[in-house]
Amino acid sequence: MRSDVKLGPDPLLSKPGRSYWGLVWRQFRQDRLALAALIGVLLLFLVAIFAPLLANDKPIYLRMQGRSYFPIFKNYHRFFETDFKALADSLAAPDLALFPPVPYSPTEYDLTQALKPPNQYHWLGTDDRGRDILARMIYGARVSLSVGFVAVSIYVLIGVILGSLAGYYGGVPDVFISRAIEVMICFPTFFLIITIVAFLPPSIYNIMAAIGITGWTGVARLTRGEFLKLRSREFVEATRALGASDLRAIFRHLLPNALAPVLVVATFGVADAILIESSLSFLGFGVPPPTPSWGDILSQSRSYVDFAWWLTTFPGAAIFLTITMYNLVGEGFRDAVDPRLKQDR
Amino acid sequence: MPLPAAAPSLEPLLRITNLVTTFRTERGLLRAVDGVSLEIPKGGKLGLIGESGCGKSVTALSILRLIPDPPGQIESGEILFDGQDLLKLPLSRMRHIRGNRISMIFQEPQSSLNPVYTVGNQIAETIRLHQKVSRREARERAIAALKQVGISDPERRVAEYPNQMSGGMCQRVMIAMALSCHPELLIADEPSTALDVTIQAQILELITSLVREMSMSLLLITHDLGVIAETVEQVAVMYAGKVVEEAEVHELFQNPLHPYTTGLLRSLPKLGAEAGQAGHQRLQAIPGLVPSPLDLPFGCPFQERCPLMKPLCGQEMPELEEKRTGHRVRCFESC
């Protein structure tokens, strides 16, 4: 796999006091590509969290007539419906207006600037209503990441609970849950999601819920398998012999041991969920306008695809890069969790 | 009228009567424990000996009602612990007994500890499961428990993970965990089998001294005759799910009555009997194999391997009878 891994002292013995997750992190760190991807993902998170400070039509800081204002953080009565850009143009020293790096809001349109290729004002160009693509993409990151995380959290929760019950108890509960999983797998997930979303009012929460309630089968099967494997381990019997209840054995003793592979799958799952959300938005089932989403920008570009390359390239690249980064993180994580896969040099 | 204070109670701490535990398998019903009766007095030490698959561990797990169901099931019998029938207790009361009044330690110390928690964490959890104490106090008691089982530098060790400890250390931690709530009965299921010989001796010594110190009763399960001889007072020999012989430990070693016990003792290597010396001879093995528990012969289960076999053995099951004082055996021939 990699040739730069040195056979040092046994990682289990070299440092005292290492927890399991500490060991996993040590392994993960050695995979440069995965580490870079993790940093990329974290940066994307920062972008999503601080989107209003990165792209906004209001200044971060405004000094006027000797007073300071922070229009992004606070609504001032005197600036109600003020056009800050016109205001900024009229300011003279020492008054000043400090705008974010992208001085456009995702919904601010200017028809005189429609369909402009990337230029000094609009770094990634504008769409057919003159909205800034970069601003829309920055806000679109919020949609993508939150859909990815919330949807995956929902299905990890469902999958882990059902999978652990099936794996721990076996017998009748296992038969029911396993059959439910098989029935669920028979449906083509994407069409099932479209069907569910079609019946619900368009909202980002319904998309999260739809992905969440359709995606749990993989996690459930994996958790069930891990529990089957772990159930016969002595420490489970030992904890029960020392008086622990079933629920305690499941959630406190077995689950932490089964969690690592589940989290690996969840990491890949976030990538999938982002892709599903983009596809839904592209098909028009996604987040309702004017909320920007990467898939939504792509969708609008369809009419202008023969000349407006910036409309397809940038959101497409954002989706591609995000998915790739998540997959790289997932792969690095998987290798770190499962040392057997790593040592095939 | 004053009651006779602290009169030695005749009621044993644990009395198992006619325990039958079965497992449903694809090839039929397997009677892993078939009518076992045992008694452990308060402060007594009973050894349960027999080869793999004879039902020793199933007996122990039945006491704690930890038989996996399905496929296992305790079919009948009575397990009286301190006067109450454990088999009739609701599960919540049973959980209160496990780890608190009856504790168990297992064969594989390293896999008996949860790899994701520190050892201190696991001991403290057991304490907090049964007693209302603060986290800090539980931790302090965990440190004290580690000290008690002879782990040096317990303040540091308490924060270590099982993978950082040797097998012997892990077994000490298991013992600390099992004894953290001062149980009245300790069940040790092959506690030293997975350890190397020097550590074995230390662990057995530790168990014996702690059992004495805390005046606990002990049920020691093993297939090692040497371990039995050193540790317990009373021995029950099991074969194919049944107790075939029971006696006080010296009596059993000096006057083994059942041909199976005799065979076991003969198959031990003797010190000093080295090659070329007087008394040197091949180890005597018991001929044949243990019959499959799914396909036991009619009558005595040992008949096919028994040097004393006679026609009656194939016709009915011998009863466990007292042939000498305090020495009971399940055999028609021995006397």
Cβ of B97 within 8 Å of Cβ of A243? The answer is yes
Q: Choose the weakest-confidence range: A182-186, A244-248, B312-316.
A: B312-316
Interface contacts A/B by beta carbons within 8 Å: 77
Does A71 map to a domain? Answer: yes
Backbone angles phi, psi at A76, to 5 degrees: -100, 135
Within 10 Å of residue A29's Cβ, how many Cβ atoms? Answer: 13
Co-location of A199 and A294 in the same domain: yes
A115 contacts: CB under 8 Å, gap ≥ 6 = A125, A126, A127, A128, A130, A304, A308
pLDDT of B54 reads 86
Q: Does A237 touch chain B (CB under 8 A)?
A: yes
Which tokens hold the place of A118? 């990337």
Co-location of A337 and A218 in the same domain: yes
pLDDT of B277 reads 60
Question: What's the mean pLDDT when you consider all of chain B?
Answer: 86
Min Cα distance A27 → chain B (Å) is 17
Match domain B13-101+189-267+307-335 to its CATH number in 3.40.50.300, 3.40.30.10, 3.30.70.2200, 3.40.640.10: 3.40.50.300
Per-range mean pLDDT, top range of A7-21, A103-117, B90-104, B319-333: B90-104
**Mean pLDDT of the region B123-134:** 90
Within 10 Å of residue B82's Cβ, how many Cβ atoms? Answer: 16
pLDDT of B186 reads 94
pLDDT of B278 reads 55
Mutate to test the interface with A, among B103, B112, B118, B122 (most CBs of A within 10 A): B112
* Residue pLDDT, tens place only, A120-141: 888 888 888 888 999 999 999 9
Which tokens hold the place of A104? 């456009």
pLDDT of B225 reads 86
CA distance A302 to A282: 10
Torsion of CA A44, A47, A50, A56, to 10 degrees: -160
Q: Is the pLDDT of residue B301 over 50?
A: yes
Co-location of A202 and A79 in the same domain: no
Q: Choose the weakest-confidence range: A275-284, B243-252, B314-323.
A: B314-323
Which tokens hold the place of B274? 């080295």
**Mean pLDDT of the region A79-104:** 80
pLDDT of A149 reads 92
**Mean pLDDT of the region B126-130:** 90
| Start-to-end CA span in chain A (Å) | 5
Name the domain count of chain A. Answer: 2
Write down the residue that tokens 């006679």 correspond to.
B310
DSSP-derived letter for residue B6 is T
**Mean pLDDT of the region A266-279:** 90
Q: Is the pLDDT of residue B164 over 80?
A: yes
Nearest to B235 by CA among B200, B264, B194: B264
> Could you list the residue range(s) of the whole structural domain that residue A338 is in?
133-342
Q: Is the pLDDT of residue B335 over 90?
A: no
Nearest to B40 by CA among B78, B82, B6, B68: B82
CA distance A262 to A338: 12
Min Cα distance A18 → chain B (Å) is 8
pLDDT of B5 reads 46
Does A299 map to a domain? Answer: yes
* Residue pLDDT, tens place only, B79-121: 999 888 999 989 888 998 998 899 999 888 888 898 888 899 9
Cβ of A239 within 8 Å of Cβ of B114? The answer is yes
pLDDT: which is higher, B209 or A22: B209
pTM: 0.79
Q: At what angle do helices B167-179 and B135-148 cross, to 10 degrees?
A: 120
CA distance A33 to A30: 9
Q: Tell whether the torsion through CA atoms of B125, B131, B132 and B138 is positive or negative.
A: negative
**For the domain that residue A204 is a member of, what is the CATH number?**
1.10.3720.10
Cβ of B98 within 8 Å of Cβ of A240? The answer is yes
* DSSP output for B233-280: SEEEEEETTEEEEEEEHHHHHHS--SHHHHHHHHTS--TT--TTSTT-
The interface residues of chain B toward chain A in range 79-118, judged by CB-CB distance below 8 A, are 95-100, 103-104, 106-108, 111-118
Question: What's the mean pLDDT when you consider all of chain A?
Answer: 85
CA distance A186 to A182: 6
Give residue A343's pLDDT band: very low, low, confident or very high (50, 70, 90). very low
Q: Is the pLDDT of residue A106 over 60?
A: yes
> What is the complex's ipTM, to 2 decimals?
0.79
Co-location of A77 and A176 in the same domain: no
Co-location of A74 and A140 in the same domain: no
pLDDT of B9 reads 52
Co-location of A142 and A91 in the same domain: no
* Residue pLDDT, tens place only, B188-213: 998 888 888 888 888 889 999 999 99
| Start-to-end CA span in chain B (Å) | 48
Co-location of A189 and A305 in the same domain: yes
pLDDT: which is higher, B161 or A85: B161
- Asked whether the beta carbons of B224 and B47 are under 8 A apart, the reply is no
Q: Tell whether the torsion through CA atoms of B178, A229, A326 and A10 is positive or negative.
A: positive
pLDDT: which is higher, B291 or A38: A38
Co-location of A81 and A149 in the same domain: no
**Where in chain B do CATH 3.40.50.300 domains reside?**
13-101+189-267+307-335
Percent of chain B with pLDDT over 70: 93
Nearest to A282 by CA among A304, A309, A300: A300
